[in-house]
């Protein structure tokens, strides 16, 4: 009896110890622990890690930033102007110090841009860089190989973040990242991939309130939610959409839902009949109840969309019309196109062939698979039979390349470069590399060509508005909804303002922990 | 014995080579171009389409257009000298990336196996002795749940109960011992169930042998008979199955690893395959094969210990 | 001294240790009950189109995530589909996959493992190497290769899974045969001049098979879960096709808000595994050798 009691007592003490050791350390010191959604494999902005070190860890910054309406704003660059159609002059802010104390000068900027151009192939195709000339320690001239009216917008691209040349070791290998941002690198654990940054007291942008940010990669969304609930993290993103409500209701936690520049869209393979008939495409778009999908599939993490650009974006065409949910119109259009249900099986047919289409999507983004299934259900209501498939991205893009698809559902970011021309050109131009539907419209092509050569932003936007109207009528791509993000944090985390221009989410130097 | 060992070591080399060659070949023919996926996992998004220039650049950087036998030959030459190449996506040496992940994987596998053995074997014997009695049934049904539950289910339940509610362990991550407990328990469920059943079956098989009845009829105590005669032979299927489980834990614990943010080789391999990061895939597979064939050799040697009548050749 | 239960079919002890009626009934009835229940499940699965109250793909977003109720006995999933109906329709697919894969793996595993264990020498060397290869090869690559080369279908899915599973059975069988081969009655049978085939079938197989059967029954659930995992790679089961493994995967994110999405398919899988497993255990009794004992006891 005594032995048992002793044992139980010891067990209780052991458990208490373990519990204490794990006591959630929320407020108190100004340390923010973040449950990050992607694995962190490195810290070199020019090698694919730009979003982590730019938006989330806030170690580095770009020359040009954007405000909440996606207007360009000065960051490390104070002003910029075009000298001729292939030359831009950029003025660099003075008084900015790198984390190691050295001054930011034009040579550092030239180094960073050239390095990014060398290592990052996307930068290379965006920038069309010819050369960079340093005029004085705070002025550079960037020459492009062909007219590039959106060059300043490209300088916002995270891979072209400005780093100190001392970040590179003598052996040419990337060493310790030295940037200009509000936080500086403290440690990166190569095993656990936990990234720790500390306050930069000499930040040019003002006072930084947090002492430290710890980024812990947790790739499973259920685990992220549990980590927040248990207090292992103070801030996280993208808990499972269906959990957003439940977690919001927990004491001490709050969840905010926002839309992002990423859109859910369906690309249509115009080479496969009957999708070459615009009426069929318009009918498909009219048969989709976007509100229902946003509410029941996305749980309102994300919102129905008409055009490719979020309302926040200053160039968004507010007057854009689209084939919104109108089931009668859908049926009418299909009837008009000759597709009628002649054998009463619920599926329309024409000349003996049923109206069956394949809908391909990939699994790597959470909302896509249920959305594909929901779409199948909605389209069946108007008599179109859909075979939905969700596969690995390598498999799906391979099939798309081979032409083995009818409809392709994806979640595409339209704000990578804060200018509408980039996305529209890629998607709707005949040679656009993202134009997998093989859409070709000569009017659209000429608008794109002209726009690349038009300096004046207002004029450019007006041209592109016309382009948007044409493609919304032709509908080679059906826009469904904006991809949403659920920001979940403890109530004691203050000062966070959602940045719609961020890639996944952006932390802010204004954040602090309330005691 | 020495001859046998040498023969087996030679065979190990052959097997490893064959597996690596097959892996290399298959990785190059599965859908999704290597260059394209490398780009999508580094500088492009999943939704962007690489331009022809970008693909050409990557292809030439990594000699992706060379004939397959030349590419494999180069890799093999390097591997024989200890150089497993560099990851296309992470741009770091493959051996470095593997060495970072191996300790975590070994710790987890070892912990899970220990749980499976320390609980599975005694309970298996217990069940065999109490064949068809109530406790036998109950334990069998409980273990059946262990094998038919998906990995994520048990993992999430454990986290919910022990981390969130009781705050005894952290939710996820890697570090001190307390991070190991929940993932090890979750990972051990399948092997525990399997071990218990195998021990039980093995025991029942052996106990029905005539020499057991003979020994008991001669007056030897049943406990003595079980411990000295039955157990050794009964353990044979259990050891085989445990070894198989161990092998799977090394490369296949992906679900547990991703739920618990455990930096193991399984998720490294799956990510590498998704990115068509061929050198990294090769390195992981090489390691996993090497471990598997070594384990199987050890098991075969253990057979001769457990059942001295077994001979090879 | 406590009575230890030893397998009742051992005639040497049958008279000596009392088989309580409890033991006997349990042992025999189990097999019968399991067979009946399994047959019932198969029949229900086949009759699904007539029994199920709803269509399996009757998507109705507005009725999603409803708890079990009179209209939907087991509730609705995240797209408003009736879970009970999907469970019924999914039974056929899940059974088909589980049984085909395990049967295939058993046949190949027993054959190759048996040959390797019994004949030893070169055949053991070669077969064991093949086993090692299939054991250690990552299944994801196999699956992707099959999708790429042969396309996506349930048949290809079964093939991919069988390729991955047979090696474990072979390995286990080989160990068992090695052990059984050196038994006394095998050597005495050889002395008498029995052919290899007779030895294999009459003496070795019955002893060696039991753990392999147990493994097979336990593997059923694992196969269903693996099938769902491979579907993610584009192999076999499109998301709309009802199948227990896919239902489990789809329900993962709803475990806190709607646990019945995972609970019911999980229970279905567990029930199947329980039935097959108890059946397999019952087989162990049936396979127990009785004839070999007589020689020894007489002596």
Query: Mutating which of C4, C136, C187 best tests the B interface, going by the most B Cβ atoms within 10 A?
Result: C136
Is the confidence at residue C289, as pLDDT, over 50?
A: no
Flag whether pLDDT at C1 surpasses 60.
no
Distance from CA of A392 to the nearest CA of C (A): 5
Q: A374 vs C204, which has greater pLDDT?
A: A374
DSSP annotation of A365: S
pTM, two decimal places: 0.89
pLDDT value, residue C15: 44
Q: Are A163 and A60 in contact (CB under 8 A)?
A: yes
* Among the partner residues A122, A394, A436, nearest to B276 by beta-carbon distance: A394
Q: What pairs with residue A80 in β-bridges? A: A90
Which of C79, C239, C252 comes nearest A390 by C-beta? C239
Using a CB-CB cut-off of 8 Å, the residues of chain A touching B90 are 41-42
Mean pLDDT, residues B36-48: 90
DSSP one-letter code for B93:
B
- DSSP string over C171-200: HHHHHHHHHHHTSHHHHHHHHHT--HHHII
Per-residue pLDDT band for A2 (boundaries 50, 70, 90) equals low
The CATH number of whichever domain residue C288 belongs to comes to: 1.10.3720.10
Q: Which 219-278 residues of chain B touch chain A by CB within 8 A?
A: 258-261, 263, 271, 274, 276
What pLDDT is recorded for position C298?
27
Q: Is residue C11 one of the residues assigned to a domain?
A: no
Cβ-based neighbour number of residue C174 at 10 Å: 28
Whether residue A329 is predicted with pLDDT greater than 60 in this model: the reply is: yes
Mean pLDDT of A310-331: 87
Indicate if the pLDDT at residue C85 is higher than 60. Answer: yes
Total residues found in chain C within this entry: 299
- At residue C23 the predicted structure's pLDDT band, cuts being 50, 70 and 90, is low
The pLDDT score that the predictor gives to residue C6 is: 45
Q: Which chain A positions have a beta carbon within 8 Å of B48's beta carbon?
A: 122, 434
Q: How confident is the model at residue C149 (pLDDT cuts 50, 70, 90)?
A: confident
Segment C110-124 mean pLDDT? 90
Query: What is the per-residue pLDDT for A125?
Result: 85
The burial class, CB within 10 Å (0-12 / 13-18 / 19+), for B263 is buried
Average pLDDT, chain A: 89
Residue range B99-121: mean pLDDT, rounded: 94
State how beta strands A31-36 and A235-237 pair: parallel
Q: Could you tell me which residue, A412 or A12, shows the higher pLDDT?
A: A412
Q: Do B31 and A15 touch (CB under 8 A)?
A: no
Band of residue C33 on the pLDDT scale cut at 50, 70, 90:
confident
**Are residues B168 and A18, on separate chains, in Cβ contact within 8 Å?**
yes
Alpha helices (H) along A339-418: 368-380, 393-401
Residues of C in contact with B297 (CB under 8 A): none
Q: How confident is the model at residue C130 (pLDDT cuts 50, 70, 90)?
A: very high
Taking CA atoms, what residue in A is nearest to C257?
A243
Of A18, A362, A436, the CB nearest to B46: A362
Q: To the nearest whole percent, how much of chain C has pLDDT over 90?
A: 35
Q: Using CB atoms within 10 Å of the CB of residue A209, give its burial: 0 to 12 exposed, 13 to 18 middle, 19+ buried.
A: middle
User: If you count residue pairs, one on B and one on C, with CB atoms under 8 Å apart, how many are there?
Assistant: 215
Compute chain B's Rg from CA coordinates.
Answer: 24
**pLDDT band, residue C27 (cuts 50/70/90):** low
pLDDT 10s digits, A271-294 = 998 899 999 999 999 999 999 999
Examine residue C12 and state whether it is found in any structural domain, yes or no. Answer: no
In 3-state terms, what secondary structure has residue A95? coil
For range A26-53, the mean pLDDT = 87
Contact A162, A112 (CB under 8 A): yes
pLDDT digits (tens, 9 = 90+) for A117-137: 999 988 988 888 999 999 999
Q: Which of B42, B49, B101 sits opposite A48 (nearest CB)?
A: B42
What's the pLDDT at A142?
95
Query: Average pLDDT, stretch A180-206?
Result: 94
- Rounded average pLDDT over A20-26: 49
Query: Using the 8-state DSSP alphabet, how is residue B89 labeled?
Result: T
Q: What is the pLDDT of residue C291?
A: 32
Contact B86/A at CB under 8 A: no
Nearest to C171 among B211, B244, B313 (CB): B244
Confidence of residue A16 (pLDDT cuts 50, 70, 90): low
Instruction: Write out pLDDT tens, residues B4-19.
Output: 889 889 999 999 999 9
**B4 shares contact with chain C (CB less than 8 Å):** no
In tens, the pLDDT along A74-119 reads 999 999 999 988 999 999 999 999 999 999 999 999 999 999 999 9
Q: What is the pLDDT of residue A9?
A: 63
**Is the pLDDT score of A189 beyond 80?**
yes
Q: Is the pLDDT of residue C19 over 60?
A: no
Q: Is the pLDDT of residue C26 over 60?
A: no
Phi, psi of A168 (to 5 degrees): -95, 130
Give me the pLDDT at residue A11, please: 66
| Residue B297 CA, distance from chain mean position | 15
- Above 80 in pLDDT, residue A450? yes
Tell me which H or E stretch contains B104.
helix B94-129
Residue environment code for C205-239, b if the CB has 16+ CB neighbours within 10 A, otherwise e: bbbbbbbbbbbbbbbbbbbbbbbbbbbbbbbbbbb
C140: closest chain A residue by CA: A392
Least confident range of A27-41, A397-411, B113-127: A27-41
Res. A14 pLDDT band, cuts 50 70 90:
low
Is the pLDDT assigned to residue B154 strictly greater than 80? yes
Name all chains with 3 or more CB-CB pairs below 8 Å to chain B: A, C
pLDDT of residue A326 exceeding 90: yes
Query: Across the interface, which of B32, B36, B54 has its CB nearest the CB of A125?
Result: B54
The count of structural domains within chain C is 1
* pLDDT band (50, 70, 90) for residue A169: confident
The pLDDT score that the predictor gives to residue A26 is 45
Top-confidence residue, B308 or A276:
A276
pLDDT for B211: 72
List the domain range (segments joined by +) for residue C137.
Answer: 20-59+72-298
User: Is the pLDDT assigned to residue C24 strictly greater than 70?
Assistant: no
Give the minimum alpha-carbon distance from A399 to chain B in angstroms, rounded to a whole number: 8
Tell me, yes or no, whether C215 lies in a domain. Answer: yes
- What average pLDDT does chain B have? 89
The reported pLDDT for the residue numbered C4 is 43
| Mean pLDDT on C261-289 | 81
């Amino acid at each position: 009896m005594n032995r048992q009691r002793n044992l139980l007592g010891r067990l209780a003490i052991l458990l208490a110890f373990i519990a204490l050791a794990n006591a959630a350390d929320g407020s108190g010191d100004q340390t923010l622990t973040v449950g990050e959604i992607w694995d962190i494999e490195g810290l070199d902005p020019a090698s694919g890690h730009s979003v982590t070190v730019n938006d989330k860890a806030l170690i580095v910054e770009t020359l040009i930033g954007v405000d909440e309406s996606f207007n360009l704003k000065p960051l490390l660059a104070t002003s910029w102007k075009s000298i001729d159609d292939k030359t831009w002059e950029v003025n660099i802010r003075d008084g900015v110090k790198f984390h190691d104390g050295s001054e930011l000068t034009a040579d550092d900027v030239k180094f960073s841009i050239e390095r990014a151009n060398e290592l990052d192939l996307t930068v290379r195709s965006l920038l069309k860089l010819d050369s960079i000339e340093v005029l004085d320690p705070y002025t550079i001239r960037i020459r492009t190989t062909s007219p590039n009216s959106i060059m300043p917008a490209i300088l916002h691209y995270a891979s072209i973040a400005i780093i100190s040349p001392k970040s590179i070791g003598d052996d040419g290998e990337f060493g310790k990242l030295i940037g200009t941002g509000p936080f500086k690198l403290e440690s990166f654990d190569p095993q656990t991939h936990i990234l720790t940054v500390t306050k930069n007291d000499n930040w040019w942008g003002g006072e930084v309130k947090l002492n430290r940010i710890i980024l812990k990669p947790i790739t499973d969304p259920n685990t992220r939610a549990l980590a927040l609930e248990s207090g292992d993290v103070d801030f996280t993103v993208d808990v499972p959409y269906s959990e957003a409500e439940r977690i919001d209701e927990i004491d001490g936690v709050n969840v905010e839902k926002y839309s992002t520049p990423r859109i859910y869209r369906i690309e249509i393979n115009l080479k496969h009949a009957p999708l070459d008939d615009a009426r069929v495409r318009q009918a498909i778009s009219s048969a989709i109840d976007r509100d229902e999908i946003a509410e029941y599939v996305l749980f309102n993490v994300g919102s129905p969309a008409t055009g490719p650009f979020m309302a926040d974006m200053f160039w968004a065409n507010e007057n854009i019309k689209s084939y919104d949910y109108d089931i009668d119109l859908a049926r009418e259009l299909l009837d008009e196109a000759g597709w009628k249900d002649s054998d009463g099986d619920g599926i329309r047919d024409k000349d003996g062939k049923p109206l069956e289409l394949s809908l391909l999507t990939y699994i790597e983004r959470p909302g896509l698979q249920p959305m594909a299934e929901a779409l199948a259900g909605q389209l069946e209501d108007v008599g179109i039979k859909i075979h939905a498939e969700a596969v690995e991205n390598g498999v799906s893009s391979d099939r798309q390349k081979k032409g083995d698809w009818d409809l392709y559902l994806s979640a595409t970011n339209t704000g990578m470069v804060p200018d509408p021309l980039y996305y529209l050109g890629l998607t709707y131009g005949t040679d656009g590399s993202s134009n997998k539907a093989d859409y070709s419209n000569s009017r659209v092509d000429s608008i794109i060509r002209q726009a690349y050569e038009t300096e004046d932003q207002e004029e450019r936007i007006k041209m592109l508005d016309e382009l948007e109207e044409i493609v919304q009528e032709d509908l080679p791509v059906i826009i469904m909804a904006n991809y949403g993000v659920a920001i979940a944090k403890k109530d004691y985390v203050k000062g966070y303002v959602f940045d719609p221009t961020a890639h996944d989410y952006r932390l802010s130097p204004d954040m602090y922990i309330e005691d | 014995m020495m001859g046998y060992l040498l023969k087996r070591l030679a065979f190990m080399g052959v097997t490893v080579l064959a597996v690596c060659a097959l892996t290399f070949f298959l990785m190059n023919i599965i859908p999704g171009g290597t260059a394209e996926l490398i780009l999508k996992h580094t500088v492009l998004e999943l939704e962007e389409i690489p331009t022809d220039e970008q693909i050409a650049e990557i292809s030439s950087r990594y000699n992706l257009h060379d004939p397959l036998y030349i590419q494999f030959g180069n890799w093999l030459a390097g591997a024989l000298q200890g150089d497993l190449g560099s990851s296309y996506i992470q741009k770091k040496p493959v051996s470095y990336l593997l060495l970072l992940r191996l300790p975590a994987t070994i710790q987890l596998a070892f912990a899970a196996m220990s749980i499976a053995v320390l609980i599975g074997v005694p309970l298996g014997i217990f069940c065999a002795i109490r064949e068809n009695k109530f406790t036998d049934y109950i334990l069998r049904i409980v273990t059946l749940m262990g094998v038919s539950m998906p990995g994520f289910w048990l993992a999430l339940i454990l986290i919910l109960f022990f981390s969130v509610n009781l705050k005894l362990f952290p939710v996820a991550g890697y570090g001190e011992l307390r991070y190991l407990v929940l993932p090890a328990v979750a990972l051990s469920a399948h092997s525990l169930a399997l071990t218990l059943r195998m021990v039980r079956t093995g025991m029942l098989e052996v106990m029905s042998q005539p020499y057991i009845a003979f020994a008991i009829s001669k007056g030897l105590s049943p406990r003595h008979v079980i411990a000295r005669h039955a157990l050794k032979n009964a353990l044979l299927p259990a050891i085989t199955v445990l070894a198989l489980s161990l092998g799977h834990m090394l490369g296949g614990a992906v679900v547990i690893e991703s739920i618990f943010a455990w930096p193991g080789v399984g998720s490294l391999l799956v990510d590498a395959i998704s990115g068509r990061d061929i050198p990294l895939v090769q390195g992981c597979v090489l390691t996993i094969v090497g471990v598997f064939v070594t384990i199987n050799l050890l098991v075969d040697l253990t057979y001769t210990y457990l059942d001295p009548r077994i001979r090879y050749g | 001294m406590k009575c230890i239960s030893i397998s009742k079919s051992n005639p040497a002890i049958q008279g000596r240790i009392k088989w309580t009626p409890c033991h006997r009934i349990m042992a025999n009835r189990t097999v019968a009950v399991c067979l009946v229940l399994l047959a019932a499940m198969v029949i229900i699965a086949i009759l699904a189109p007539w029994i199920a109250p709803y269509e399996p793909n009757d998507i109705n977003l507005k009725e999603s995530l409803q708890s079990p109720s009179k209209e939907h006995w087991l509730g609705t999933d995240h797209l408003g589909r009736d879970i009970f109906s999907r469970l019924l329709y999914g039974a056929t697919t899940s059974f088909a996959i589980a049984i085909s894969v395990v049967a295939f793996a058993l046949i190949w595993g027993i054959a190759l493992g048996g040959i390797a264990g019994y004949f030893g020498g070169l055949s053991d060397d070669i077969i064991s190497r093949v086993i090692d290869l299939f054991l250690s090869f990552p299944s994801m690559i196999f699956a992707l290769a099959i999708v790429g080369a042969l396309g996506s279908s349930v048949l290809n899915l079964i093939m991919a899974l069988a390729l991955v599973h047979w090696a474990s059975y072979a390995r286990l069988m080989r160990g068992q045969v090695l052990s059984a081969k050196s038994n006394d009655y095998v050597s005495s049978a050889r002395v008498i001049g029995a052919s290899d085939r007779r030895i294999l079938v009459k003496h070795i197989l019955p002893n060696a098979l039991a753990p392999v059967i147990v493994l097979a029954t336990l593997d059923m659930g694992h196969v269903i879960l693996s099938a769902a995992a491979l579907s993610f790679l584009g192999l076999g089961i499109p998301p709309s096709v009802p199948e227990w493994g896919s239902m489990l995967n789809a329900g993962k994110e709803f475990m806190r808000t709607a646990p019945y999405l995972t609970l019911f398919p999980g229970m279905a899988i567990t029930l199947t595994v329980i039935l097959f497993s108890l059946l397999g255990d019952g087989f162990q009794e049936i396979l127990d050798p009785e004839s070999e004992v007589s020689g020894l006891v007489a002596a």
